[in-house]
Structure 1
């Protein structure tokens, strides 16, 4: 990484190189590693991170936790040297952070905040399905109403209120309105009944 950074951020690259290797010679005087060797190491890192993803997804499936449900963290034995494992694992596994530890594991405990974020993801999925059923184009903006018709514990409504901006952004909602005259459907979300009403925005 220091080799790549050197032409663009020379001082940062120099500091990183000395801290990581202990070599007193300047990184700017070093020869580049042969391209074939770099490619081989990148491939090895990618194979390793893919194995971590597969193992963690298997753990999710075993515990019956959907991928749309965010989790706090994943712990893995090694971090990539040539590939950014953090970005790949947080995206592929829907976790908040990556921790290095002795063996691969998932933090399966769900805080109320994580649970509500998972509910929000379910709402977004159902609204997207409703958009498609209504015959809207993928770039059509909408007016939307979300009503929890049968509440279990109030968490679904709380999740909607807490994440209304994210729901709006991901479903191209311009306005939340009461009873828009358009497509109307009711779906089940975590044993609660959610009524979705939407129409194409006049904006």
Structure 2
């Protein structure tokens, strides 16, 4: 278990060094410890928000891989964010932002909401359209509507700006 903690620590350090938020999913972490159970690999993947954890003695280094090692422990993190991973990261940012607003408005875990949003960011509009069901389920929303003008605080989500209003149903 100590080895798993150390590898997670290294993975988090690599994320920080490369300015990758934990909410941004990444493709893979490779490590040189092969005798770990499937359950421990799943814990590592969840803690580091990576799709896959695998074993490797050596990884060809380049722009795609960041490496951290100490003694016999070696960890490589795939730091490339493709379009699909970027979209998943934006969904998580949107969900986090809405849940923070729910908390600030004193809404409970049982309260359902309607969401109105306004943005000029094409990526955010696309995310709301493509991942509407997932966002609704994650934040207990019955409706999500794009509107042309909202008089609410402008928030930063990913590289874009958005205005949101939550209404209790």
Q: Same fold (TM over 0.5)?
A: yes
Q: Take 1:85 and 1:74, find their aligned partners in 2: how far apart are those partners?
A: 13
More strand by share: 2
* 2:24 maps to 1:69: yes
Higher RCO (C-alpha under 8 Å, 6+ residues apart)? 2
* 2:133 maps to 1:165: yes
**Paired residue for 1:141, among 89, 92, 112?**
112
Which residue number corresponds to residue 54 of structure 1? 9
* Cα pair distance change 1:104/1:118, threshold 3 Å: same
> Deviating runs (4+, > 3 A) in structure 1?
79-83
Gaps of 5+ in 1: 1-45
Q: Whose radius of gyration is greater, 1 or 2? A: 1
Q: Take 1:155 and 1:177, find their aligned partners in 2: how far apart are those partners?
A: 16
* Cα pair distance change 1:129/1:51, threshold 3 Å: same
Q: TM-score, length-normalised on structure 1? A: 0.68
Q: Which moved more, 1:112-121 or 1:158-167?
A: 158-167
Equivalent residue pairs, number? 150
Q: Take 1:196 and 1:81, find their aligned partners in 2: how far apart are those partners?
A: 44
More helix by share: 1
Give how far 1:178 is off. 5.8
Give how far 1:176 is off. 2.1
| Residue pair 2:132, 2:144 contacting (<8 A) in 1 also | no
Which residue number corresponds to residue 118 of structure 1? 89
Q: TM-score, length-normalised on structure 2? A: 0.80
CA RMSD of aligned residues (A): 1.9
Give how far 1:117 is off. 0.8
Q: Take 2:34 and 2:141, find their aligned partners in 1: how far apart are those partners?
A: 39
